[in-house]
A and B are shown apart, each in its own frame.
Chain A
């Protein structure tokens, strides 16, 4: 069966009130960016759905692969068109149902008759088409509520549109429709998942990463870039800010007692992140913290770390189990990257016994002997920014 058109249903968007057009525009923009390179694709938006056409079957195949990742789409269906005559609809209905597995499935015909001059009324049509399908697929049975196969027939003046197969979309909100936030991206399993979950709620993500060369390798940075690139597949491009953190870590190791050094490290990271956030006009900081996983993720610890800023720190994973987080990481294809075995800046200077219940007063007391401000300023100045996905100059072109 040949079809070259998709019907796209909006996610929660259809619940939105007056600013829905803003959301729809954003979705369309994200789709265009996600489907770049597919020249024959045309997107038409309507009030409560979109139509996507692609004349080139190769492009359509590619669309089917990329579309399920784009947030803001509830579901999509291939549309089959035919002449608005009963015979043509009969024939096309059989083909459309044939796209589905029919063995032991229930089905229902749903009619939308925009063209009121069509010679049969809705009920009559429903019965006629239903009977015709049943005659040809005797293994089907009719069910009015929640059928497995819903054959939708939309009869318009010059054309009839049939859809049966429904593919689930990614759901959520179009990325960018809820503003911008800065993600603290460590290279572990959790932070990319946190970024993904915020993107699902429509938040555009920039990322910040702390590196400690020469203790951490280029490979560790590469890993973080690969993670950021994975995230970029769910929405718009991602900018990654890489902060040189070696000097600060060495100063902390020298000046702050072991028990408090971890808390101070986190507090300084948070301060740096907050300044970068402000500079890029983001509204929040996203972190992959989950309660109770490690020493820095107790409520006492979080309180001490959070004390440096009044910016909202969004922690979408706070109540999830590690197993749940790993499951999502596998789903979004970041898990395999996250478990690459390179040291990151959080593991090299780890004290033997970090305090799980640090006292803020003590932490501030030890910090007060050092002026971290110039170091923070320098680290921010020295940061490098990468835009992902990379369009890299290629050292392999002569080989492939």
Chain B
């Protein structure tokens, strides 16, 4: 099987799995324990924290380990809003965020916060002018994703940072789950105050992730317990998960394959555009590793089944929502023409994909489109 659903999850690397197993064997002690074994586990935990900070170029900051991207996003949005509510109760985010941000701001709305959503253009990109307009003196959190998980659109994070710094005292959070290890994102200067990363999107393990913050800002904890992670995320820290994440982060940073992904993406775009009734979404603005394709008049599911029969795994726009019938909020937000709305599939690369696999995808794609043409003349679905 050719696996091209890497935005949903990636295959864990051998090295990462080894770290996880080894740490479970050799350093299983509770890092909060006073004895030597506990101290060793704690040192190892701090080492992995340091490594992540170094690799993300944050020399003074905090890594708060979480159970994954969703928890880190929750912690950022809710934790920052509650912690800094003396600055105001206005929250800004975008219409195309991951549900872990959208549902979190809804919760805040119930608590009395006012939430506004930035719209996106047909390429899935927000407008800096709109951001400027909507920023208020009492804006307390701005949460904008770096790369959209469904269509790959990249947001202008640095420009956002400049405007936010200039016009407000808001905490700037960036969901970098889809971009981390693929595109650079620097926290210093106008960069964000906090970013979310997830282990399983970078050949790490499911159940691991982190919120990385600059030293001077920390969220309020959203769970309660024994004061672990400086009280920011309670519960015994999973040292094996943390170490495995640190290793995945290192490997992802060292093996960044942006150029190759971009080459594959361009090649597929050229190929796809030869067919009619097919669109590439966010063509100019998407990250190199995500290619979002919309077929007219058919359901994405049909395409996925066809590709699967021919040995290729791709997904509808977002794996999280692929089982629901509704059109995704992202597709609604870019105001895609109706005939394309139900026919979106996502192809996403990782470093273990090969050139041959991309060639194979091209062939299967062509067969599929030809089949559709024939099918359409008989009006079959």
B is bound to A: yes
B57→A62 contact, CB < 8 A: yes
A101 interfacial by beta-carbon distance below 8 Å: yes
Instruction: Write the chain A residue with the least CB distance to B243.
Output: A399
Per-residue interface assignment for chain A, residues 53 to 69, with 1 indicating a CB less than 8 Å from any chain B CB and 0 otherwise: 00001100110111000
Distance in Å from the Cβ of A138 to the closest Cβ of chain B? 15
Give the residues in chain A near B60, CB-CB below 8 Å: 65
Complex Cα gap A66–B60 (Å): 9
Identify A219's interface contact among B39, B165, B250, CB under 8 A.
B39
B22→A218 contact, CB < 8 A: no
Give the residues in chain A near B62, CB-CB below 8 Å: none
Complex Cα gap A287–B61 (Å): 31
B266 interfacial by beta-carbon distance below 8 Å: no
B188→A61 contact, CB < 8 A: yes
A15 interfacial by beta-carbon distance below 8 Å: no
Distance in Å from the Cβ of A304 to the closest Cβ of chain B? 36
- Which of B43-51, B76-84, B111-119 forms contacts with chain A? B43-51
Instruction: Write the chain A residue with the least CB distance to B191.
Output: A61
Complex Cα gap A322–B98 (Å): 48
Give the residues in chain A near B57, CB-CB below 8 Å: 58, 61-62
B211 interfacial by beta-carbon distance below 8 Å: no
A399→B23 contact, CB < 8 A: yes
Instruction: Write the chain B residue with the least CB distance to A342.
Output: B34
Instruction: Write the chain A residue with the least CB distance to B137.
Output: A103
**Would A400 and B59 be within 8 Å (CB), given that A61-B186, A61-B189, A218-B36 are in contact?**
no
A398 interfacial by beta-carbon distance below 8 Å: yes
Give the residues in chain B near A65, CB-CB below 8 Å: 59-60, 188
Instruction: Write the chain A residue with the least CB distance to B22.
Output: A399
Identify B51's interface contact among A62, A218, A219, A400, CB under 8 A.
A400
Give the residues in chain A near B36, CB-CB below 8 Å: 218-219
**Would A400 and B246 be within 8 Å (CB), given that A62-B57, A62-B59, A218-B36 are in contact?**
yes
B323 interfacial by beta-carbon distance below 8 Å: no
A369 interfacial by beta-carbon distance below 8 Å: no
Give the residues in chain A near B39, CB-CB below 8 Å: 219, 222
Identify B247's interface contact among A57, A102, A219, A399, CB under 8 A.
A399
Give the residues in chain A near B148, CB-CB below 8 Å: none
Give the residues in chain B near A102, CB-CB below 8 Å: 166
Q: How many residues of B contact A (CB 8 A)?
A: 24
**CB-contacts of B136-188 with A (<8 A):** 165-167, 186, 188
A400→B186 contact, CB < 8 A: no
B19 interfacial by beta-carbon distance below 8 Å: yes
What DSSP secondary structure best describes chain A's contact surface? helix
Give the residues in chain A near B243, CB-CB below 8 Å: 396, 399-400
A66→B59 contact, CB < 8 A: yes
Distance in Å from the Cβ of B194 to the closest Cβ of chain A? 16
Give the residues in chain B near A103, CB-CB below 8 Å: 167
Distance in Å from the Cβ of B171 to the closest Cβ of chain A? 16
Instruction: Write the chain B residue with the least CB distance to A58.
Output: B57
Give the residues in chain B near A218, CB-CB below 8 Å: 36
Complex Cα gap A377–B300 (Å): 83
Per-residue interface assignment for chain A, residues 2 to 40, with 1 indicating a CB less than 8 Å from any chain B CB and 0 otherwise: 000000000000000000000000000000000000000
A400→B48 contact, CB < 8 A: yes
Distance in Å from the Cβ of A199 to the closest Cβ of chain B? 19
Per-residue interface assignment for chain A, residues 328 to 353, with 1 indicating a CB less than 8 Å from any chain B CB and 0 otherwise: 00000000000001100000000000
Complex Cα gap A103–B137 (Å): 11
Give the residues in chain B near A400, CB-CB below 8 Å: 19, 47-48, 51, 243, 246-247, 250
Give the residues in chain A near B186, CB-CB below 8 Å: 57-58, 61
Give the residues in chain B near A399, CB-CB below 8 Å: 19, 22-23, 44, 243, 247
Complex Cα gap A392–B166 (Å): 43
Give the residues in chain A near B189, CB-CB below 8 Å: 61
Distance in Å from the Cβ of A395 to the closest Cβ of chain B? 8
Instruction: Write the chain A residue with the least CB distance to B50.
Output: A400
**CB-contacts of B306-332 with A (<8 A):** none
Give the residues in chain B near A342, CB-CB below 8 Å: 34
Give the residues in chain A near B51, CB-CB below 8 Å: 400
Distance in Å from the Cβ of B188 to the closest Cβ of chain A? 4
Give the residues in chain B near A58, CB-CB below 8 Å: 57, 186
**CB-contacts of A243-258 with B (<8 A):** none
**CB-contacts of A210-248 with B (<8 A):** 218-219, 222
Complex Cα gap A399–B240 (Å): 10
Distance in Å from the Cβ of B63 to the closest Cβ of chain A? 13
Give the residues in chain A near B165, CB-CB below 8 Å: 101
Give the residues in chain A near B48, CB-CB below 8 Å: 400
Distance in Å from the Cβ of A48 to the closest Cβ of chain B? 28
B59→A396 contact, CB < 8 A: no
Instruction: Write the chain A residue with the least CB distance to B59.
Output: A65
Give the residues in chain A near B44, CB-CB below 8 Å: 396, 399
Instruction: Write the chain A residue with the least CB distance to B51.
Output: A400
Distance in Å from the Cβ of B170 to the closest Cβ of chain A? 13
Give the residues in chain B near A341, CB-CB below 8 Å: 34
Q: Which of B22, B60, B186 has the most CB of A within 10 A?
A: B60
Give the residues in chain B near A222, CB-CB below 8 Å: 39
Complex Cα gap A57–B167 (Å): 25
Distance in Å from the Cβ of A335 to the closest Cβ of chain B? 13
Complex Cα gap A62–B189 (Å): 11
**CB-contacts of B209-266 with A (<8 A):** 243, 246-247, 250
A residues at B contact (CB < 8 Å): 57-58, 61-62, 64-66, 98, 101-103, 218-219, 222, 341-342, 396, 398-400
> What are 26 inter-chain pairs, A to B, with CB distance below 8 A?
A57-B186, A58-B57, A58-B186, A61-B188, A62-B57, A65-B59, A65-B188, A101-B165, A101-B166, A103-B167, A218-B36, A219-B34, A219-B39, A341-B34, A396-B44, A396-B47, A396-B243, A399-B19, A399-B22, A399-B44, A400-B19, A400-B48, A400-B243, A400-B246, A400-B247, A400-B250
10 smallest beta-carbon distances between A and B, as pairs: A61-B188, A65-B59, A399-B19, A399-B243, A400-B246, A65-B60, A396-B44, A400-B51, A396-B47, A400-B247
Beyond contacts A103-B167, A399-B22: 4 other A-B pairs, Cβ-Cβ < 8 A, are A58-B57, A65-B59, A101-B165, A399-B19
